[in-house]
Amino acid sequence: MNDRKIEKKIRKVFFLLSDHSKIDGHVFLSLYEVTHSGPQNLGDLLNGEDEFIPLKTEKGIVLLNRTHIVQARIDSEGESDDIMKMGSGYSICAKMGVGESVEGDIFISLQDGRFGRVKDYANLPFTFLRLFQPKHVVYLNQHYIISIHD
């Protein structure tokens, strides 16, 4: 192993961008995450500090500007765990400014142990909100959500 390389987990992701284009490829996720135990997940990457996210495509590496990512979808296997699904569960539909409406489940557990409302979830200090679907986890950029219906 090269001393300068950091081992990464490679995961396939689909992106919808603000210009209505769609792109898929593989992102590189760290095997460790500072904010929680276990490996980095796509939500950690999207809500992180880097403005540009490398995506390995068939044509090479593309750097995606995080602010122009409307939606990211990844297989739920390896992306979700039981801790993410603690709290009050709600089925919601997010009407998007770009693309179609997105349906999925959210789980709300506030830090002080209280269970919250959909409003509390929508106002979390993250750019990308997580929705669970049967086979995928979808991350929605709050800046492109027009409304949320439960």
115 belongs to a structural domain? yes
When divided into structural domains, the chain yields a total of: 2
2 belongs to a structural domain? no
Q: Where are the beta strands (DSSP E) in the chain?
A: 8-17, 22-30, 52-57, 60-65, 69-75, 88-96, 102-108, 128-132, 136-141, 145-149
For residues 30 and 8, give the distance between their C-alpha atoms in angstroms, rounded to a whole number: 5
Tell which wins on pLDDT, 8 or 100: 100
At 87, is the pLDDT very low, low, confident or very high (cuts 50, 70, 90)? confident
Query: 88 and 62 share a domain?
Result: no
33 belongs to a structural domain? yes
Query: 66 and 106 share a domain?
Result: no
109 belongs to a structural domain? yes
Q: Which amino acid, one-letter code, is at 108? A: I
Q: What is the mean pLDDT of the chain?
A: 88
Does residue 112 surpass a pLDDT of 80? no
At 33, is the pLDDT very low, low, confident or very high (cuts 50, 70, 90)? low
Q: Which helix (H) or strand (E) holds 112?
A: none
Read off the CATH number of the domain in which 45 is found. Answer: 2.30.30
pTM: 0.88
For residues 110 and 114, give the distance between their C-alpha atoms in angstroms, rounded to a whole number: 5
Query: 96 and 48 share a domain?
Result: no
Does residue 101 surpass a pLDDT of 80? yes
At 1, is the pLDDT very low, low, confident or very high (cuts 50, 70, 90)? very low
Does residue 31 surpass a pLDDT of 70? no
Query: 53 and 112 share a domain?
Result: no
Express each pLDDT in 119-136 by its tens digit.
988 988 999 999 999 999
User: Residue 123 belongs to what domain range?
Assistant: 82-149
Q: Which of 21, 47, 70 is the last residue of a domain?
A: 70
Query: 128 and 89 share a domain?
Result: yes
Does residue 82 surpass a pLDDT of 90? no
Query: 58 and 112 share a domain?
Result: no
Q: Which two tokens stand for residue 141?
A: 């950029």
